[in-house]
Structure 1
Amino acid sequence: MLTVNDCTYTKDDLKRCEQQFAMHSIWKTAEQWRIAVCPQEIEKWIALLLYVKKRGGSIVPIHPSTPLAAAKKIAVQARCAYLFFHTFETPLTLSNPVSTFPPGLVQFSSGTTGVPKQLERSWSSIDEELAAYTERMARVDVDTVVVACPVTHSYGLISGVLAGLSQDKEVVVLTAQNPKYVLKKLTDYPNHLLYGAPPLLYALAKLSNGDTLQAVMTSGTRLPEEWFQSIQSNSQMLLQQYGCSEAGCISIAMPLRFSEELGVPLRHVQAKAGTARNNPSEIQVTIGRRTINTGDLGYIDQDGALCFRERLDDMINVAGLNVYPHEVEHVLREHPSVEDAVVYKKADSYAGERVCAQVSARTETLSLPELRSYCISRLAPHQVPHEMTIVEEIAKSANGKVSRVKLGEAKG
């Protein structure tokens, strides 16, 4: 059973949607095209995905909030024949490809480390991931999967919706991610597993009374220590999954023991990384015959769990000394007047790279000289931000990620 906000749809309802697609002039030959969809009716989008998957088509989901011009640009970049923008009936015709595309799901990386990259995953690779994922998640005894994150992204779509449906769970999609609304809806599903971005989960933890959150799944970025402690203490079980767009979900920590933990790899994945926290190396995963370099720096602990240290691209080299941004962010967040912080790098003609930071403040009294003195007293000289900016709010994507590359490239 599928519920979107307050409306519930049975398997028969979804089947009727599929029957309608089978009569549509374009969807009835879905296997011949690559088609982009920017959906508003989420229940129809999920029914369409299941239909296209069965037909062996190639589909490109686009976040519903994307403006038409941007959606068209994405669809053209993906070489789609058609774009269905806020409709499943009348498309924009973009091109007429000479040959068909391999069947599967086409997505774009989040772009947090640069220009978003087009990624193609076959339906068979997604089925392999789903089989391993549902096997692992069978250990979590819940009735309802609540997805409070975008279902045009693999985290909400594959790990949340498709995995939930494959386990015969009731799947609830909440399109409005207002924390008070989500918290209220969760009271209707007391035995739930909630999928959400870290900022939402932290906001829910602060609002909850300690007994509203059941099982909680996070993904996308490592939880700051304060967020980890708050979410863990205000939920019955905190889980974290780790993955990348090329491979899907790689591992799950269940429960999450500490913020760096990424969990034991799923059965279809082989992983290599560093041997200890002070000896990390790039996490490399092998699925079948394909080896993927994740770009993440990590290690495998004595229990066989992957652990995360930093994005390789985010590491800051100050005159030959490595700076881990999250360590500086942790110090900044410990300041009583700091709400949030992000640390990034900029080129420096003298040191090679310099440490920069943006912080959002809890109070109007926070000053840069005070913050700099605070850092000097708690960080090594090469870790102290060379430049800092106090902002109203740190911009994050729908998945709770910050683009450090964009911050580093910004002027000023």
Structure 2
Amino acid sequence: MDLPEEILAHIFSFLHLQDKCNAFTVCKAWSNIMTHPSSWKDTEVRCESGTSVPDGYSAFLPLVRNLKLRMGLIDPANRKTALWVLRQAVARGDGRLEGLSICCVGNTPLFYAGQDLQQGLVDILTNGSSLTMLDLKGVPFTLSDSFVRSVAMLCPALLSLFINNDSLVCGVNAETLRQVLKCCRSLNVLGVFQASLSQDVFKDLMLPERPALKKLELRCERSLKYTLPFCDQIWVELKLRHPRLWVELELDHTLPELHFSGALQPSIPVRCLRLLTFTLLLDVVQIVGQSYAKTLEVLELQTTASPELNSALMALAKQCVNLQEFHCYCVVSQEVITAFITNCPNLKRYTLKTHKEPHPWTCTKLK
């Protein structure tokens, strides 16, 4: 069955660059469709293992509206190619690039701080940017205050900004985050380290002139132990100001157990919770059931198996009936699996195993 060109162009837009190039050579009809701007709206470019942009296709990079860059960090040539790709999409695209996601793959060079990539990104965005989404969760190095401030000043149209990356250290202080909110006045989706928040940041988020905050992603790691915990009342006030706000909360394995309760305030509108702590979580599971039963839709646990955990999880299944995904990366009893399937009618995906499996564990899909 022949599909309309517009539908094929939309399908092709989700292919990464090499697959787009392969589709270009299939037939004349596909070749013509691949020159359509819609085919390049969403494009992934992989700069790894010595790969580069095939000759003849760099001219299409200015057509990209949403760009995902995957790069290997070991070889400096990969980083150079990635910056070149970004330069084509930004400078030659006349500021038409709207979304940018950067993901680093492979091992990170020893003592590599990512200064070349951070400075290169700032230099490229200086030429003009209409970015509305910037996702840096996939970079493994610490993002500096100066870099984040520069990005905010160069990209005032940002609606979504994610700087809650996998760095071991939070490099963005509260004053920098306030500067981001000041420069990017339409920002309504934000991903940050919880250690970057402060009372003043909360006050800025609650200003009457700010747009409705839709989503807040918070990563809680060891930097949090150097900050004072927020009282629950401030979350109550934030919810009143932004009633449709939902929060994705991640507790990292570097966060001391002593600080778990401070991060899990009961009035946080948590829809997605990732407890990646590798610690005993019996008390935390009870807190989750008591505080987030009405809002929680996705829960992920990395903990230690025990009969007590099985009992706590079965009780949790009866409380968090709105769960759509549940992933527990330790062995549980069959009764736990039955409890979640029985009590959570919206459950679509789960990872629950009665026996250890080779990594990675497979996920069961129900819907």
TM-score class, shorter-chain normalisation, is 0.3 to 0.5
Select the structure with the greater relative contact order (CA < 8 A; seq sep ≥ 6). Answer: 1
Q: Which has the higher strand share?
A: 1
Higher fraction of helix: 2
| TM-score normalised to structure 1 length | 0.30
